[in-house]
């Protein structure tokens, strides 16, 4: 008989190599000695097919296609989760999966952890509907999520801004930020602004309009006149990326020699790539950026990179200002982005000092192992085996 604490991860949308759900929560559960079962769609961002983590038991179903399929994905979650036996805790990173979990928890005598890491009724919903219809839909979605929160044992949130609209319904809540795993800081930090380098290299991340890529491309057109040795690394987004259109856009702006577009890579390869850079960008526009506290902020800090982030991102700006490890700009304004990049590159001593402070802050205060410990303590308290 397997006496390990059994965690059931239920997700209607997240891929099996998702950074927060797999590389952070699932891997932490495994390292803690828990048994982990994953119920979710059979798709991945960048891992090779057919990639599996051999320490996880999978119950996968075909990924939902289109909006109607996404809205009904909870049915596949329920169908595949219902037969699970001996689950002690359900961990759910999607509202519809969490709703399934609370219905199953009673009969299975399990606890439910709902991980809220998006503003579902605002930024996420705005990608689907807008205007009056969007406002009506937002009210409906928020009420449904509040109801789910009220039935969960614990609501986890990526930051305080994301938790705030739902906190009133939570019997218990906890902030667990998406800090990077400790291995991101292994080895030497990035050699920021070394005078022997031929380029000033900035990491952008996924090339995606939702993540502000088009505005960054405009900024590069402006910045190239003042910083001819600039280079920016971007990765193809896993889904919906139109390479031909992107390459055409880059050519039109005459920044072909600046943009280093690459295929997506597994998370484990990112630390080495980041160590080749001099700075990191978080390019979200207001709909996504206002309340975000993304993985990449902490990955940049772990690598020892100064960060340029949106001035309207309250959570990100607070970390940058408190730790003195970056600049802010208006990422809806190409000129503002370009000015920040040029400013950082022209004061190398300041740039290096910011990177040093970023890495020290990560090691001492902003790493995943320290961040997730209160949740693990809670689970051990619930299931004292």
Euclidean distance between the first and the last CA atom of the chain, given in angstroms as a whole number: 14
170 and 213 assigned to the same domain: no
31 and 120 assigned to the same domain: yes
Counts of helices then strands in the chain (DSSP H, E): 15, 13
Digit-by-digit pLDDT tens for the chain (385 residues) are 789 999 999 999 999 999 999 999 999 999 999 999 999 999 887 766 656 788 999 999 999 888 778 889 999 999 999 999 999 999 999 999 999 999 999 889 999 999 998 766 455 545 555 565 656 667 777 899 999 999 999 999 999 988 999 999 999 999 999 999 999 999 999 999 999 999 999 999 999 866 789 999 999 999 999 999 999 999 998 777 888 999 999 999 999 999 999 998 888 899 999 999 999 999 999 888 888 899 999 999 999 999 999 999 999 999 999 999 999 999 999 999 999 999 999 999 999 999 999 999 999 999 999 999 999 999 999 998 7
- Give me the pLDDT at residue 121, please: 46
Nearest to 51 by CA among 18, 89, 99, 10: 18
Residue 299 lies in a domain: yes
* Domain count for the chain: 2
257 and 150 assigned to the same domain: no
How far apart CA 228 and CA 230 sit, in angstroms, is 6
Lookup result for tokens 């208006």: 330
67 and 114 assigned to the same domain: yes
- Give me the pLDDT at residue 140, please: 79
- Give me the pLDDT at residue 28, please: 97
- Give me the pLDDT at residue 40, please: 97
- Give me the pLDDT at residue 167, please: 92
Provide the whole-model pTM.
0.86
Return the CATH number at 79.
3.40.50.2000
Dihedral angle over CA of 308, 309, 314, 317, nearest 10: -10
186 and 305 assigned to the same domain: yes
Residue 228 lies in a domain: yes
126 and 271 assigned to the same domain: no
> In terms of DSSP H, where are the helices of the chain?
27-31, 66-71, 73-81, 95-108, 131-151, 160-163, 213-223, 243-252, 270-274, 286-289, 295-303, 314-323, 334-346, 348-365, 368-382
138 and 228 assigned to the same domain: no
Please give the order of strands across the beta sheet that includes 56-61: 56-61, 35-41, 6-10, 89-92, 111-116, 154-157, 173-175
Residue 97's domain spans which residues?
6-177+368-382
């Amino acid at each position: 008989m397997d006496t390990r604490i059994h965690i059931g991860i239920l997700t209607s949308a997240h891929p099996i190599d998702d950074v927060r759900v797999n590389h952070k929560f699932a891997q932490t559960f495994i390292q803690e000695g828990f048994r982990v079962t994953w119920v979710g769609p059979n798709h991945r961002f960048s891992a090779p097919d057919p990639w599996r983590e051999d320490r996880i038991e999978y119950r996968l179903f075909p990924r939902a296609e289109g909006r109607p399929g996404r809205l009904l994905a909870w049915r596949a979650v329920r169908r595949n989760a219902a037969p699970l036996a001996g689950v002690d805790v359900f961990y759910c990173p999607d509202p519809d999966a969490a709703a399934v979990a609370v219905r199953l928890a009673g009969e299975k005598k399990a606890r439910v952890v709902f991980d809220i890491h998006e503003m579902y009724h605002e930024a996420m919903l705005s990608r689907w509907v807008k205007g009056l219809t969007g406002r009506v839909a937002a009210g409906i979605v928020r009420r449904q999520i509040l109801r789910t929160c009220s039935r969960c044992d614990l609501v986890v949130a990526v930051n305080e801004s994301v938790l705030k609209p739902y906190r009133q319904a939570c019997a218990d809540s906890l902030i667990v930020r998406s800090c990077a795993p400790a291995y991101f800081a292994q080895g030497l930090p990035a050699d920021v602004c070394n005078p022997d380098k031929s380029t000033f290299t900035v990491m952008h991340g996924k090339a995606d309009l939702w993540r502000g890529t088009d505005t960054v491309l405009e900024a590069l057109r402006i910045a190239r006149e003042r910083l001819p040795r600039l280079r920016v690394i971007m990765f193809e987004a896993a889904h919906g990326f139109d390479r031909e259109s992107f390459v055409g856009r880059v050519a039109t702006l005459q920044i072909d020699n600046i943009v280093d577009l690459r295929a997506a890579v597994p998370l484990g390869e990112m630390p080495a790539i980041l160590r080749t850079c001099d700075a990191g960008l978080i390019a979200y526009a207001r709909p996504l950026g206002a309340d975000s506290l993304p993985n990449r902020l902490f990955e940049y800090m772990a690598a020892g990179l100064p960060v340029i982030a949106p001035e309207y991102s309250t959570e990100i700006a607070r970390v940058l200002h408190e730790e003195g490890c970056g600049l802010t700009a208006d990422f809806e304004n190409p000129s503002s982005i370009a000015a920040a990049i040029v400013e950082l590159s022209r004061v190398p001593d300041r740039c290096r000092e910011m990177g040093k402070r970023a890495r020290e802050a990560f090691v001492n205060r902003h790493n995943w192992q320290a961040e997730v410990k209160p949740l693990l303590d809670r689970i051990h308290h619930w299931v004292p085996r």
